[in-house]
């Protein structure tokens, strides 16, 4: 029995006409798969409308009640779509998370999936050809409705594919795949046929708009092949999958960037143990996501600590640092919002020295000053002045031969 | 442990301001009850909006999927209201029908309640002071969501009260109780302090706007005292309860009317066995609700059959009768839409002869011709010309001493 999981986002189910398009996709897929599990999001704007309602009703809405409320968005989608399927004679039915169940912890608003009853799923698949499952929602052990957080429908789809034995999971969206970089700023950007899970994770700043990070982690953990493709074309899209040797033949597979950055520096503080904890402990407690961190080598027993954060976190971060600085003996708290991050990403980087050098050289040649550097096994990230970001993306895209007229990443033999 | 069930309809939960009013009612009730079970409808207009959506999506929406869709209306109400309760520090939570469960059959769209897990309810009441339950919905044995049909939230409330041991059930609405007749056409109409279940059932044409018929049947069966009262005043409303001797001291307790009537006559058909079945069988099969039926005594081996139906059923009914008439030998099918029904209702009628006579005499005196008569143990119904209906209501209201300046039905000793 060949099973396929297909997930459609909010824009794909927003209107009757679009749902009819989705139905075409599902009917088409039944030509090459025996059974389809369709995962749907709430119709575009519905989740936000429900959240606005909750905020109107309460200054701090109870999280469990909020999940009960917000989960109605997906319930409406699956009811309507199942009607459409039944109308054309398909053996189909809707399934709420609690009817399978998809069991989660009780961390309302961002619950984690603990278990999916795959025996029940298979039994439903014996009775029906298409199951229409509500994305984004789960069910705590006591039967209360939970939600998985933003982008949770992607996670639902991948988890269902994993529960059914790593069947392929198609994530339909309004773009036709993952690109080597943002086509809006680099006209030579190329759609990739394949990308490794790790690369997709590192492409977060661009990829997160296409595929939710947690769903990629989930897919990687359970080895679920995920195909990102468009509801509105027949393009095969981009397959997110395990890396293999053909992928490693390419140094760099994509260039990412992120303008939502602010830089904070604690100046001239004593280089003694416990300083980093004193700085980042309070930030973590307030839920501020710190991204790059650089601490210079101590020269005179004093050092600087510089880190980046999302811009909207700048105000609370500075408030915390003004408190922390005197305690740890820093003389000054500096900040800068005119910065941006550019990254070169590729699983091939591991096997090829010199990627970092080529990156620095390419930017330096164009007179772009590098403010901070951070490296991981498969990523090099540079903080630069924001005004240079588009230029830097184009330079790096060209430097690593990612242009559209070059051959795409080879398929494995 | 004193438990109270309170049900609030769509108009009472339509806006934040109104829900805050409802919260006041609930908090007030906690002064004289230990625990409250609140049953809510969907916000005004929501259920119809969801049904319109279903009709837009499908010419004949799948009933099970439609129930899944429509039940979101109540889910939104209970989530929002539970938030409000928690905001003022109450130990409260929402409950979907499936979380209790309220088990029904699988007659989607008009399911019947089979069982309520009262042990689970009591266990929830040990943890919480207020339970906010979604009305109108149930859960089939296989876990699918069902709905109880129009007005089903009243039935939910009464059934929950019955499951908790016939505790009082308050049905809040936008009127302050049940009146002796429609105050809009009879200025002397009086709010009743008490009314018997049977009377409430017979007052259908007026009462149905206040309290759903099935909920009254349910209340009568399980002896649940139901109090109809207004969300927007402090009036104690009308108690719907078992009849007792004080009630029987009053001949007639209310005058009802119904303008939504059409009359159909099958003329001059052979008076042989099986004729009635041949006429009403096909109507029943099409779901046409036949109300009054009169068959004249046979004179020459031929008879007339006359019956009334809701006006919107006239066209399909005539179509069926045109088919049936030749088969059973009727010479003609006649119809009339300018008719209306007036009823005098009272449990006291059983013990007092002469009510029918007084009714006929009062109308005749004013020159109102009686077209059809139908009687039950506690009701006399007359079909008259529609133009006389307001006049007839006022005459009968006066004839049986129901005017506002007379004393209300006495309370039992």
Point out the least confidently predicted range of B102-106, B295-299, B397-401.
Answer: B295-299
A98 touches chain B (CB under 8 A): yes
pLDDT at B81: 98
- Chain B partners within 8 Å of A98 (Cβ): 98, 143
3 state SS of A208: coil
Q: For residues A314-327, give the mean pLDDT.
A: 93
Q: Where in chain B is the domain with CATH 3.40.1160.10?
A: 3-173
Work out the percent of chain A whose per-residue pLDDT is above 90: 69
Lowest mean pLDDT among B46-60, B224-238, B365-379: B365-379
Q: Is the pLDDT of residue B297 over 90?
A: no
Q: What is the 3 state secondary structure string of A250-271?
A: CCCCEEEEEEEEEEEEEEEEEC
Cβ neighbors of A69 (< 8 A, separation 6 or more) are A50, A53, A54, A61, B75, B76, B79, B80, B83
Print the SS3 string covering chain B.
Answer: CCEEEEEECHHHHCCHHHHHHHHHHHHHHCCCCCEEEEEECCCCCHHHHHHHHHHHHCCCCCHHHHHHHHCHHHHHHHHHHHHHHHHCCCCEEEECHHHCCEEECCCCCCCCEEEECHHHHHHHHHHCCEEEEECCEEECCCCCEEECCCCHHHHHHHHHHHHCCCCCEEEEECCCCCECCCCCCCCCCCECCEEEHHHHHHCHHHHCCCCCHHHHHHHHHCCCCEEEEECCCCCCCEEEECCCHHHHCCCCCEEEEEEEEEEEEEEEEECCCCHHHHHHHHHHHCCCCCCCEEECCCCCCEEEEEEEECHHHHHHHHHHHHHHHHHHCCCEEEEEEEEEEEEEECHHHHHCCCHHHHHHHHHHHCCCCCCEEEEECCEEEEEEEHHHHHHHHHHHHHHCCCCCCCCCCCCCC
The token duo for A407 is 């051959």
Please, which pLDDT band fits residue A409 given cuts at 50, 70 and 90?
low
- Return the axis-axis angle of helices A16-29 and B46-57, rounded to nearest 10°: 50
Average model confidence (pLDDT) for chain A? 91
pLDDT at B119: 97
For residue B287, the model assigns a pLDDT of: 84
- For domain A255-399, give the CATH superfamily: VC0802-like (3.30.2130.10)
- A173 known ligand binder: yes
How sure is the predictor about B275, in pLDDT bands with cuts at 50, 70 and 90?
Answer: confident
Q: Report the pLDDT averaged over residues B94-102.
A: 98
pLDDT-based confidence at B205, cuts 50/70/90? low
Give the model confidence (pLDDT) of A137-189 as tens digits: 999 999 999 999 978 999 999 999 999 986 899 999 888 899 999 988 999 99
Residue A400 pLDDT exceeds 80: yes
| DSSP element (H, E) containing A291 | none
| pLDDT score, position A413 | 41
What 8-state DSSP symbol labels residue A202?
A: H
Dist CA A227 CA A241 (whole Å):
8
Give A267's contacts (C-beta < 8 A, 6+ positions apart): A304, A330, A331, A332, A333, A334
Q: Which of B58, B83, B144 sits opposite A54 (nearest CB)?
A: B83
Q: Report how far apart the first and last C-alpha atoms of chain B are (Å, whole number).
A: 26
Query: pLDDT, tens digit, for every residue of A332-352?
Result: 999 999 999 999 999 888 777
| Spatial contact of B211 and B220, defined as CB atoms under 8 Å apart | no
Q: Looking at residue B387, what is its pLDDT?
A: 95
Q: Which residues in A lie closer than 8 A to residue B83 (C-beta atoms)?
A: 54, 57-58, 61-62, 65-66, 69
Name the pLDDT band for B413 (thresholds 50, 70, 90): very low
Mutate to test the interface with B, among A21, A61, A65 (most CBs of B within 10 A): A65
Task: Establish if A87 touches chain B: CB-CB under 8 angstroms.
Answer: yes
Closest of A144, A141, A41 to residue B82, by C-alpha: A144
Instruction: Give CA–CA dist A102/A154, Å, rounded.
Output: 14
Match 């053909």 to its residue by tokens. A246
Of B272, B323, B265, B281, residue with least CA distance to B302 = B272
- A298 Ramachandran zone, left/alpha/beta (phi>0; psi -120 to 50): beta
Residue B276 confidence (pLDDT): 83
A17 inside 8 A of chain B by CB: no
The arithmetic mean of pLDDT across residues A225-242, rounded, is 93
Among candidates A75, A395, A68, which has minimal Cα distance to B134?
A68
Taking only residues 132 to 171 of chain A, the set having a beta carbon closer than 8 angstroms to any beta carbon of chain B reads 143-145
| Cα gap B289→B287, rounded to integer Å | 6
Per-residue pLDDT reduced to its tens digit, A214-229: 899 999 999 999 999 9
Q: Report the CATH fold assignment for A3-173.
A: Carbamate kinase (3.40.1160)
- A152: Cβ contacts below 8 Å, ≥ 6 apart: A135, A136, A137, A212, A214
Q: Where in chain B is the domain with CATH 3.30.2130.10?
A: 255-399
Instruction: Name which residue leads in pLDDT, B396 or B375.
Output: B396
Residues of chain B positioned with their CB less than 8 A from the CB of A60:
87
Q: Which residue ranges of B make up the annotated binding site? A: 7-10, 47, 74, 173-174, 179
Q: Is 0.80 topped by the overall pTM?
A: yes
Q: Confidence band (pLDDT; 50, 70, 90) for A249? A: confident
Q: Is residue B317 very low, low, confident or very high in pLDDT (cuts 50, 70, 90)?
A: very high
């Amino acid at each position: 029995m060949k099973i396929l999981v297909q997930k459609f986002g909010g824009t794909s189910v927003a209107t009757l006409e679009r749902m009819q398009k989705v139905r075409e996709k599902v009917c088409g897929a039944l030509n090459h798969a025996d059974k389809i599990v369709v995962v749907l999001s709430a119709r575009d704007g519905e989740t936000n409308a429900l959240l606005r309602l909750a905020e109107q009703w309460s200054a701090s809405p109870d999280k469990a009640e909020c999940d009960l409320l917000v989960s109605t968005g997906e319930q409406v989608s699956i009811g309507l779509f199942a009607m459409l399927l039944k109308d054309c004679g398909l053996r189909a039915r809707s399934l709420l998370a609690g009817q399978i169940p998809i069991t989660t912890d009780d961390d309302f608003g961002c619950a984690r999936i603990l278990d999916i009853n795959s025996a029940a799923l298979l039994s439903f698949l014996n009775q029906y050809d298409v199951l229409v499952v509500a994305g984004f929602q789960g069910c705590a052990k006591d039967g209360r409705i939970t939600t998985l957080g933003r982008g949770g429908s992607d996670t639902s789809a991948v988890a269902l594919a994993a529960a059914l034995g790593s069947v392929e999971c198609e994530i339909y969206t309004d773009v036709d795949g993952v690109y080597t970089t943002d086509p809006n700023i680099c006209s030579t950007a190329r759609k990739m046929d394949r990308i490794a899970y790790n690369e997709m994770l590192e492409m977060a700043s661009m990829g997160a708009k296409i595929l939710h990070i947690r769903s990629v982690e989930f897919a990687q953990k359970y080895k679920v092949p995920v195909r990102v493709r468009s509801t509105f074309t027949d393009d095969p899209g981009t397959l997110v999958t395990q890396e293999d040797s053909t992928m490693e033949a390419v140094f760099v597979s994509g260039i990412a960037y992120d303008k939502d950055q602010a830089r904070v520096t604690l100046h001239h503080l004593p280089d003694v143990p416990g300083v980093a904890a004193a700085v980042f402990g309070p930030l973590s407690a307030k839920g501020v996501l710190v991204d790059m961190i650089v601490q210079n080598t101590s020269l005179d027993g004093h050092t600087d600590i510089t880190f980046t954060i999302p811009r909207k976190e700048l105000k609370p971060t500075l408030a915390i640092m003004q408190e922390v600085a005197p305690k740890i003996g820093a003389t000054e708290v500096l900040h800068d919002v005119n910065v941006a991050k550019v990254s070169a990403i590729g699983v091939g980087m591991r096997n090829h020295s010199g990627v970092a050098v080529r990156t620095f050289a390419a930017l330096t040649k164009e007179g772009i000053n590098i403010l901070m550097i951070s490296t991981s096994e498969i990523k090099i990230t540079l903080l630069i002045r924001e005004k240079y970001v588009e230029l830097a993306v184009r330079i790096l895209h060209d430097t690593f031969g990612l242009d559209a007229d070059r051959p795409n990443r080879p398929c494995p033999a």
